[in-house]
């Protein structure tokens, strides 16, 4: 599908405002889409229903988060209860994992690695939203949500390897190479 309206480098926001495709808001919107795609990839790589359901819930939340930003909270929004949900789900996986030494070198299984990839995009999205906050009004719940989603994705990565019986490779800070 194409409309040709974006051929000159502008696009519409959620409120039909025309802005440059290089604007911080559009960069954030694109990174939300990228994160949603990476979460979809992680979801397609998992074999466990609990993780699949949690990842799908995150994907739906990201649509709300995007609408919250692009429509300036005039439509559907991300709410504090979604941040609480992320915290609760993160703790469920943390309890399953048990104590963990940091720093983990991402890898092990495709399940874990794809969750780590999504996590890194979530961190980039968080940085992009902070950067955009100098140009647009960003509700603090959005920053809280983005900080928590990366924590959930990290726990999903670790629990995936644990469920598969794969040990995490820990980066030894004393080792030079």
pLDDT tens-digit readout, 39-75: 999 999 999 999 999 999 999 999 999 988 887 667 7
Cα dihedral 162→166→172→173 (10° resolution): -40
Nearest Cα residue to 90 out of 157, 36, 135: 157
Q: What is the mean pLDDT of residues 16-42?
A: 84
As a whole number of Å, the CA-based R_g of the chain is 18
Say what the pLDDT of residue 13 is.
62
Q: Is the pLDDT of residue 22 over 90?
A: no
CATH, range 20-170: 1.20.1200.10
Task: Report helix, strand or coil for 22.
Answer: coil
How far is the C-alpha of 11 from the C-alpha of 23, rounded, in Å? Answer: 10
Burial environment of residue 2 by CB neighbours within 10 A (0 to 12, 13 to 18, 19 or more): exposed
Averaged pLDDT of the chain = 88
CA distances from 76 to 30, 61, 100, 142, 143 (A): 19, 10, 37, 13, 17
With a CB cutoff of 8 Å and minimum separation 6, the contacts of 104 are 157, 158, 168, 169, 170, 171
* Sign of the C-alpha dihedral computed for residues 146, 151, 155 and 160 taken in this order: positive
Say what the pLDDT of residue 166 is.
95
Say what the pLDDT of residue 7 is.
62
What does DSSP assign to residue 165?
T
Say what the pLDDT of residue 6 is.
61
Question: Do the Cβ atoms of 104 and 97 come closer than 8 Å?
Answer: no
Q: Is the pLDDT of residue 34 over 90?
A: yes
Say what the pLDDT of residue 103 is.
85
How far is the C-alpha of 5 from the C-alpha of 52, rounded, in Å? Answer: 37
Max avg pLDDT among 2-16, 20-34, 140-154, 163-177: 140-154
pTM recorded for the entire structure: 0.88
Residue-wise pLDDT for 129-164, tens only, equals 999 998 888 889 999 999 999 999 999 999 999 999
Nearest Cα residue to 111 out of 18, 11, 42: 42
Say what the pLDDT of residue 5 is.
64
């Amino acid at each position: 599908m194409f409309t040709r309206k974006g051929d000159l480098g502008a696009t519409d926001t959620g409120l039909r405002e025309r802005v440059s495709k290089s604007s911080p808001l559009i960069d954030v919107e694109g990174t939300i889409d990228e994160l949603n795609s990476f979460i979809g990839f992680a979801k397609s790589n998992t074999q466990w229903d609990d993780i699949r359901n949690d990842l799908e819930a995150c994907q739906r939340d990201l649509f709300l988060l995007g609408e919250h930003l692009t429509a300036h909270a005039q439509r559907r929004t991300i709410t504090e209860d979604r941040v609480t949900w992320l915290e609760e789900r993160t703790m469920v996986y943390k309890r399953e994992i048990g104590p963990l030494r940091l720093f983990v070198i991402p890898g092990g299984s495709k399940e874990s690695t794809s969750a780590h990839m999504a996590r890194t995009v979530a961190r980039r999205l968080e940085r992009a939203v902070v950067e955009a906050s100098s140009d647009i009004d960003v509700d603090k719940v959005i920053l809280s949500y983005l900080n928590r989603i990366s924590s959930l994705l990290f726990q999903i990565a670790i629990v995936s390897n644990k469920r598969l019986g794969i040990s995490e490779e820990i980066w030894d800070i004393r080792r030079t190479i």
